[in-house]
Amino acid sequence: MTILIGILILIILGVIIVQVGKINELAAKLRGEKKARRDNNESNARLMLVFMVLFLVFCVGSAWYYKNMMLGYGPHESASLHGVELDYLFNVTLFFTGIVFVATQILLFWFAFRYREQEGRKALYMPHDNKLELIWTGIPAIVMSILVVYGLAAWNDTMADVDTKELVTGFVNAETIGKDSTYIEVEATGMQFLWVLRHPGRDGKLGERDYTLINSANPVGQVWTDPKNIDDFHMDELILPVGQKVRVRITSRDVLHNFDLPHFRVKMDAVPGFPTYFVFTPTLTTEQYRENLSRYPEWNVPADPEDPTGPKRWETFEYELACAELCGKSHYSMKKIVKIVSPEEYNEWLASMEHTSQYLREVRNKVGDPFLGRKLLIEKNIADYEKAKEEAEKTAPEPAPAPEGEPANPGDETDTEETEVEVESEEGSTETNESSDSQ
Amino acid sequence: MATSHEHDELLVQEDQFYHEYWGDGFHEHHHGDKYQSNFITHYLFSQDHKMIAKQFLITGMFWGIIGGLMSLVFRLQLGFPEENMAWLKPILGKWITVNDGIGSLDPDFYYALVTMHGTILVFFVLTAGLSGTFSNLLIPLQLGARDMASPLLNMLSYWFFFLAGAIMFASLFLNTGPFAGGWTAYPPLSAVPEAMSGSKAGMTLWAVSLVFFVVSVLLGGINYITTVLNLRTKGMSLWRMPLTIWAFFVTAILGLLSFPVLVSAILLVVFDRSLGTSFFLNEIYIGGQAMEQVGGSPILYQHLFWFLGHPEVYIIILPAMGLVSEVLSVNSRKPIFGYQAMVLSILAIAFLSFIVWAHHMFMAGVNPFISNIFVIFTLIIAVPSAVKVFNWIATLYGGNIRFTSAMLFAIGFVSMFISGGLTGIFLGNSAIDIPMHDTYFVVAHFHIVMGVAAFFGMFAGIYHWFPKMYGRFMNDTLGKVHFWGTFVGAYMVFWPMHYMGMAGVPRRYYDFTTFDFSSYFVDTNKFITIAAIITFGFQLIFVVNFFYSIFFGKKMTDKNPWKSTTLDWTTPIKGIHGNWPHAIPEVHRWAYDYGKDGKDFIPQTEPMTEEEKAEAHH
Ligand code: HEM
Ligand SMILES: [Cu+2]
Ligand SMILES: [Cu+2]
């Protein structure tokens, strides 16, 4: 029925369209074909001009309307070192192309209007003009060369991988922050449909993996005989220290994905079997970014329109990790929160996370644990951390320092895990710390 | 220079040639008999290039409507995710999932629609529908040939296209849905049936369909090239060919060199899917199992695909450029500015288009050093592209412009090509491509520069050569309404996408609200969707105008209504098999003598005067 009505409507529309066309043709006949054609030509010529003006207004107006999306200034600023450079390059390109855009569009529509058919005028016979053509081949060539030179400089800067002399670190400190010679490494594995984020632990080194070992307890196929895997833990959120160079090892366990951090201008495909890398340095903590946002009226509205007294938009801002390569049905929902914190917070968080090591949770002291019966440094570290935390709690009424208001791990789970680990490490703490996990 | 006696002799020889070549058919025609009387051989299995052109055009229009409607459906989902789409259930059935009484598009089907939209528009509409139509129509007519070099291959070319379309159409009705992994069909998504519902039978049909499609392109292409090289009439040197022919010629060469690579890529995917090879598969764990296939590289596929893919975008745009050059020149009553530069830039673009493919892969995990080379070549391509734009604008300068519907679309083409070409300069610079890759900025770029611009070129061609095809005119008023509506509408649809891309909104997202950074654009998406619906509505005007005018349009009374110099307008109003009732006209000059020596135009068939000859020898 609906289909029938739809068809009927279409037919009626068609008839109307035909009639409109016919009426105009008839009217033209009445007015005299020649005059009608001339009038028609005139009005289309004028429309060209009108369009030109409206179009340029629309371009400028829309840019103003979306000024918050502009790269490099306003609230949409880059939170990484290289991103600033890329934004700058974007704007340099925008400048040059903007000039060309406005000039050519104006000339196009202006000429169309200016040289509309007029009785008695003869068109200019101008088949070519070598000088003009040389100029307008030369200028784009020069501009392109400039853009290429700047572009490639920025590109090779940005994409430079760490070199073998550089040191990888777990905890960060004044020696590592802002130094090109030290970096931390984390791993992002795409799968349908989420990102598995792996932190290398305090040794800073990611353990080996083998895709045939993947199962639900071992989502990225860590090889448990590799001691580097002992302290690797998985993160619910990507947490990184500000100012520290980080190398993200990007890979996939099924189809292509793309590791996309829009605020950091980071993007790289995740390819099964071929790890890729992106090296960048976050420059603004989440807090700092929020503060910057708080300066803009658009960000000073309630985050939830239903709740006018609730937190403002800028207060709830989070960096996000997305997927930017079509990977299947739920491609659009591979979200993780990214948090950039101060180095102190980062170290504290790292220490507090050690007991969540995938190895400790899933393999330790179970059948197949390759280090069964051996003492592990990580267990001593965890015990030390717990002890220090307890002491701090005794002396100060406040709990041990943690990123404000945000426990590194959701409450319940953390508690039970902690006690489990403590039991184990109490035995270990009496022994000397001979361990397979020291690097 | 032949004396007039020699000249006659030449014509006679030519007639004999065609007599042998065409057999009795042509001969009979000479004597006034109907060459083709049979409905089937006339309308279906026709070997006449003009009829085949119409077949390509109307099939292309069919696909254009299907592809356009698909985009409206997924735009509705993007623009109005909260609205109830249950009313589409009679058509889409189980692909509308109803939750809490609100029907919405199933994500699997959303991706299937996006994929089909891309595949259909790129291959069926803008390759076959555009190049197939106008290469077929204009190559023989503008070169002075009785038909294509091989009318049989030409007919086969159309029917392979038809077959490809039929298979793709069938895939729409599969239980698991048509292919849904994007028109680029990257493995492993396309190579692993478990990866997605559309990667099951849908991908198989997609692959088979495209292989047949490539067969069609190759048969057509061989024919176009051979015809251009061998069947030009006397005096039609390469440098006297209209730019349309140059464009079709180079397009055919591009297709011939690049489409086979697509076939190889597709075949390798099919092997990976069904024969257990691993050209593109490595260390995959899917469906609860580690696949045994290792050692392949998904990136290899991308190299193969884009080795076709980039030339393909020029396969789409070059014919449009050719048509636009011709329409601009004719309606400005001026020679196309810088004919030689135009030809050279077509050649330069064609050559360069083979060495820029990896600009689609800056973020694919290829060695970043390699990208340096591709950046350089990519930005070099902008130079000949810019030259073409400047030359089109200079063609208008000092003209005496008639705003026919075709002319409006040609001017619109230039505007679109500028807008979309300039964003290519951002994307071609790999550093800027880091934030822009796979965002709506890219969607804006290619829709404006390729999608809309190529459509404008096609419309310009249709309005301009409709009388040649059907002996009648399309309604001019409706044509102009169609133009202005489409021109404004297309900018409304695609311009705001630049800003979404700058904010980092990824393309191929079913929903923008998962992420905070992309949820800002709720109103923008509504706006775009509404603009898209309206713009589509304007295309209906075109469709009605087209079919109405075939039967009832204003009759053509003048053989050469646009006062063109080219040979296509020297044939009789009612197209006949063999094109010219008598001898093929001879050509004495280039195609662009408009406004020369105070004359409005001088047809190519008009011999040069003594002064002109003297000048040419300079
Ligand atoms: C000025 C010259 C041009 C340059 C420098 C250029 C550059 C680029 C680049 C670098 C990309 C990849 C963007 C990305 O995926 O991150 C791209 C995408 C694309 N370009 Fe262009 N382009 C130019 C002109 C054209 C033309 C003339 C067409 C077609 C007629 C075209 C069609 C496309 C298409 C279809 C895509 C997207 C393919 C996809 O990923 O689905 N481009 N362009
Ligand atoms: Cu994805
Ligand atoms: Cu390309």
Residues 143-182 of A with CB under 8 A from B: 144, 147-148, 151-152, 154-156, 158-160
CA atoms within 13 A on the CB side of A326: 28
* Distance of alpha carbon B219 from the chain centroid: 17
Question: B427 alpha carbon to ligand 1 midpoint, in Å?
Answer: 7
The whole-number pLDDT of residue B419 equals 96
Contact flag B285-A214 (C-beta cutoff 8 Å) = yes
- For A335, which of B111, B390, B514 is closest by C-beta distance? B514
Statement to judge: residues A230 and A327 lie in one domain: yes
pLDDT-wise least confident of A68-77, A391-400, A421-430, B555-564: A421-430
Mean pLDDT within A391-402: 66
pLDDT-wise least confident of A23-32, B162-171, B557-566: A23-32
Secondary structure of A304-336 as H, E, C letters:
CCCCCCCCECHHHCCEEEEECCCCCCCHHHCCE
Atom from ligand 1 closest to the CA of residue B314: 30
Which residues of chain A does B475 touch, with a Cβ-Cβ cutoff of 8 Å? 21-22, 24-25
B186 touches chain A (CB under 8 A): yes
- For ligand 1, atom 3, the nearest C-alpha belongs to B424
Average pLDDT of the residues of chain B: 90
Statement to judge: residues A228 and A252 lie in one domain: yes
Tokens at A348, concatenated: 């504290």
Judge whether B503 lies within some domain. yes
Statement to judge: residues A135 and A216 lie in one domain: no
Work out the number of other CB atoms within 10 angstroms of the CB of residue B101: 7
Judge whether A412 lies within some domain. no
Query: pLDDT tens-digit profile of B362-412?
Result: 999 999 999 999 999 999 999 999 999 999 999 999 999 999 999 999 999
Q: Which of B359, B423, B429, B507 to mutate to test the pocket of ligand 1 (most atoms within 8 A of CB)?
A: B359
Judge whether A200 lies within some domain. yes
Residue-number span of the structural domain to which A321 is assigned? 167-393
- For B182, which of A115, A118, A326 is closest by C-beta distance? A326
> Nearest-CA neighbor of B285 among A208, A206, A190?
A190
Judge whether A81 lies within some domain. yes
pLDDT-wise least confident of A59-63, A241-245, A321-325, A420-424: A420-424
> Nearest-CA neighbor of B472 among B372, B554, B565, B541?
B554
CB B187 within 8 A of CB B281: yes
Judge whether B396 lies within some domain. yes
Statement to judge: residues A144 and A243 lie in one domain: no
Tokens at B455, concatenated: 């459509």
Chain B interface, best mutation among A269, A298, A323, by max B CB count within 10 A: A269
Statement to judge: residues A110 and A178 lie in one domain: no
d(CA A15, CA B182): 38
pLDDT above 70 coverage of chain B, percent: 93
Q: State the nearest Cα–Cα gap between A211 and chain B, in angstroms.
A: 6
Query: pLDDT tens-digit profile of B302-336?
Result: 999 999 999 999 999 999 999 999 999 999 999 99
* Pairing, β A246-252 against β A182-191: parallel
d(CA A156, CA A144): 18
d(CA B582, CA B4): 17
How confident is residue B40, by pLDDT bands cut at 50, 70 and 90? confident
Statement to judge: residues A258 and A223 lie in one domain: yes
Contact flag A254-B371 (C-beta cutoff 8 Å) = no
How confident is residue A130, by pLDDT bands cut at 50, 70 and 90? confident
- For A17, which of B111, B495, B541 is closest by C-beta distance? B541
Residue-number span of the structural domain to which B315 is assigned? 46-279+295-617
Contact flag B411-A48 (C-beta cutoff 8 Å) = yes
Question: Between B16 and B444, whose confidence is greater?
Answer: B444
Which of the ligands is closest to the CA of residue B313?
1
pLDDT for A322 beyond 70: yes
- For B393, which of A107, A121, A123 is closest by C-beta distance? A107
Close Cβ partners of B195 (under 8 Å, ≥ 6 residues apart): A192, A254, A255, A328, B181, B188, B189, B286
Contact flag A101-B504 (C-beta cutoff 8 Å) = no
Q: State the nearest Cα–Cα gap between A103 and chain B, in angstroms.
A: 11
Query: pLDDT tens-digit profile of B421-437?
Result: 999 999 999 999 999 99
Mean pLDDT within A372-380: 88
Statement to judge: residues A214 and A303 lie in one domain: yes
Work out the number of other CB atoms within 10 angstroms of the CB of residue B2: 12
The whole-number pLDDT of residue A122 equals 84
The whole-number pLDDT of residue A433 equals 35
Judge whether B41 lies within some domain. no
Atom from ligand 1 closest to the CA of residue B386: 1
| Listed ranges A6-20, A379-393, B409-423; the one with the highest mean pLDDT | B409-423
A109 touches chain B (CB under 8 A): yes
Judge whether A4 lies within some domain. no
Among chain A residues, the shortest Cα distance to B430 is held by: A155
pLDDT for B592 beyond 80: yes
Judge whether B20 lies within some domain. no
The whole-number pLDDT of residue B440 equals 96
Judge whether A437 lies within some domain. no
Average pLDDT of the residues of chain A: 85
Q: Which residues of A231-241 are buried (b: 16+ CB within 10 A; e: fewer)?
A: bbbbbeebbbb
pLDDT above 90 coverage of chain A, percent: 59
The whole-number pLDDT of residue B90 equals 78
Tokens at A52, concatenated: 């030109």
- For A18, which of B375, B506, B544 is closest by C-beta distance? B544
Judge whether B428 lies within some domain. yes
The whole-number pLDDT of residue B35 equals 52
CA atoms within 13 A on the CB side of B103: 14
d(CA B255, CA B387): 24
Contact flag A126-B365 (C-beta cutoff 8 Å) = no
Complex confidence, ipTM: 0.91
Q: Please give the single-letter amino acid code of residue B334.
A: K
Query: How many folded domains does chain B comprise?
Result: 1
Judge whether B201 lies within some domain. yes
Judge whether A84 lies within some domain. yes
Q: Please calculate the CA angle B429-A91-B494 and round it to the nearest 5 degrees.
A: 75
d(CA A386, CA B362): 46
Q: Where are the alpha helices (DSSP H) in B286-438?
A: 298-332, 339-352, 368-396, 405-428, 430-436
Question: Between A422 and B13, whose confidence is greater?
Answer: B13
Contact flag A85-B432 (C-beta cutoff 8 Å) = no
Dihedral angle, C-alpha A336, A342, A343, A344, nearest 10 °? -110
How confident is residue B61, by pLDDT bands cut at 50, 70 and 90? very high
Atom from ligand 1 closest to the CA of residue B378: 5
Q: State the nearest Cα–Cα gap between B153 and chain A, in angstroms.
A: 37
Which long-range contacts link A48-56 to residues 24+ away (Cβ below 8 Å)? A48/A109, A48/A112, A48/A113, A48/B411, A49/A109, A49/A110, A49/A113, A51/A109, A51/B484, A51/B487, A51/B488, A52/A105, A52/A106, A52/A109, A52/A110, A55/A105, A55/B491, A56/A102, A56/A105, A56/A106
d(CA B217, CA B311): 13
How confident is residue B37, by pLDDT bands cut at 50, 70 and 90? low
Contact flag A269-B364 (C-beta cutoff 8 Å) = yes
Close Cβ partners of A48 (under 8 Å, ≥ 6 residues apart): A109, A112, A113, B411
The whole-number pLDDT of residue B208 equals 96
Judge whether B14 lies within some domain. no
pLDDT-wise least confident of A22-36, B75-89, B156-170, B562-576: A22-36
- The CATH number linked to B301 is 1.20.210.10
Query: pLDDT tens-digit profile of B449-470?
Result: 999 999 999 999 999 999 999 9
Judge whether B38 lies within some domain. no
The whole-number pLDDT of residue A37 equals 86
Query: How many A-B residue pairs are in contact by the CB < 8 A criterion?
Result: 363
Mean pLDDT within B138-163: 94
Which residues of chain A does B478 touch, with a Cβ-Cβ cutoff of 8 Å? 17, 20-21
Statement to judge: residues A191 and A333 lie in one domain: yes
Does the beta carbon of B178 lie inside 6 Å of ligand 1?
Answer: no
Contact flag A24-B368 (C-beta cutoff 8 Å) = no
Statement to judge: residues A234 and A150 lie in one domain: no
Contact flag A152-B431 (C-beta cutoff 8 Å) = yes
Statement to judge: residues A153 and A212 lie in one domain: no
Query: pLDDT tens-digit profile of A220-249?
Result: 999 999 999 999 999 999 999 999 999 999
Query: How many folded domains does chain A comprise?
Result: 2
Q: State the nearest Cα–Cα gap between A243 and chain B, in angstroms.
A: 21
Statement to judge: residues A144 and A216 lie in one domain: no
Query: pLDDT tens-digit profile of A179-222?
Result: 888 999 999 999 999 999 999 998 999 999 999 999 988 999 99
Torsions phi, psi for A435 (to 5 deg): -150, 155
Statement to judge: residues A291 and A218 lie in one domain: yes
pLDDT for B1 beyond 60: no
Q: Is B594 helix (H, G, I), strand (E, B) or coil?
A: strand
